[in-house]
């Protein structure tokens, strides 16, 4: 049977609601779009809200480029409360007084969490260890040693201080756990802390101001025209130089053949390639051994 749904390919900037997993959002988009290939670029905890880029169709092949982009969050942290999940959804394991803390104490402590820092992933996280999700082990009452990982916090500023809660803006690299940041900040201050509320306000080029609420997609149904909301595949690759190739070179790329390109390109980088008609062809990578540009991702 031939489906009569409208073909939808591209990247949706979805405003994830609280109470849903990122996988559930993907499942909803798959159902609404009628497309089998759907994936997200960066897990958000169920209680968190905000920007969740969802890739549909061929756009699933650019997820690897999306997940490495910087992310921005607005986080409310409650000091004096320690939980096993590092956020308010977990079991309280400790409570301590915070009346001695001043705004200046908190600002001084935040200085220790800028730049390259080390974090231990929470047990209640989707990170895999020995083939199993950490949260699966945690639900069985099993706690394992987790290797610390280096992440980069590009920007960290306090937006408000209403003791014992503070709100911060965080711009960070892939793999940063804001729950771990809240927990570690509390430890640094000697009173403990946990994440109370989290909103992801940006993933790369996708901002919360333009994010589409999931219920708006639901209201439109499968036959809705999503074209105003879908971003093209190459929209997440604009930090790479663009090159236009001839029709003959286009065929070479489609056949997986390496080639020489203009000398002005940085020979340690990737580049976007377009045909003479302006259509996006794919991504090439430079092979330093061959001194040639090789097809890395080619799109139909």
N-terminal to C-terminal alpha carbon distance within the chain: 24
Work out whether strand 212-213 and strand 10-16 pair parallel, antiparallel, or are unpaired.
parallel
Q: Which residues are catalytic?
A: 45
User: How far, in Å, CA of 40 to CA of 269, rounded?
Assistant: 25
Q: Residue 113: which residues within 8 A CB-CB, separation 6 or more?
A: 153, 156, 181, 184, 185
Instruction: Centre a 10 Å sphere on the Cβ of residue 51 and count the other Cβ atoms it contains.
Output: 26
Helices (H), the chain: 22-33, 63-66, 103-110, 134-139, 178-189, 214-220, 247-254
Distances (CA, A) of 175 to 42, 68, 122, 153, 163: 9, 9, 12, 11, 29
Taking the C-alpha atoms of residue 10 and residue 178, their distance in angstroms, rounded to an integer, is 28
List the alpha helices (DSSP H) in 45-100. 63-66
């Amino acid at each position: 049977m031939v489906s009569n749904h409208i073909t939808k390919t591209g990247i949706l900037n979805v405003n994830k609601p609280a109470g849903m997993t990122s996988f559930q959002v993907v499942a909803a988009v798959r159902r609404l779009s009628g497309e089998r290939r759907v994936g997200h670029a960066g897990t958000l905890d169920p209680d968190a809200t905000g920007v969740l880029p969802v890739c549909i169709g061929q756009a699933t092949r650019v997820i690897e480029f999306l997940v490495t982009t910087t992310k921005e969050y607005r986080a409310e942290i409650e000091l004096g409360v320690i939980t096993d999940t590092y956020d308010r959804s977990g079991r309280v394991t400790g409570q301590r007084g915070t009346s001695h803390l001043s705004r200046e104490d908190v600002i001084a402590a935040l200085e220790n969490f800028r730049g390259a820092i080390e974090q231990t992933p929470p047990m209640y996280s989707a990170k895999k260890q020995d083939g199993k999700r950490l949260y699966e082990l945690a639900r069985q009452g099993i706690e394992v040693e987790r290797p610390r990982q280096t992440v980069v916090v590009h920007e960290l500023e306090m937006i408000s201080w209403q003791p014992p809660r503070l709100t911060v803006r965080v711009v960070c690299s892939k793999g940063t756990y804001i729950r771990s940041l809240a927990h570690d900040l509390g430890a640094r201050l000697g009173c403990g802390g946990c994440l109370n509320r989290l909103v992801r306000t940006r993933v790369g080029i996708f901002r919360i101001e333009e994010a589409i609420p999931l219920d708006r997609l639901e209201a439109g149904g499968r036959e809705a025209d999503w074209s105003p909301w879908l971003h093209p595949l190459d929209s997440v690759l604009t930090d790479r130089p663009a090159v236009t190739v001839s029709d003959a070179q286009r065929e070479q790329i489609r056949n997986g053949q390496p080639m020489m390109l203009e000398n002005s390109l940085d020979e340690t980088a990737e580049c976007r390639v377009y045909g003479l008609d302006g259509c996006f062809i794919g991504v090439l990578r430079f092979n330093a051994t061959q001194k040639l540009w090789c097809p890395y991702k080619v799109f139909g």
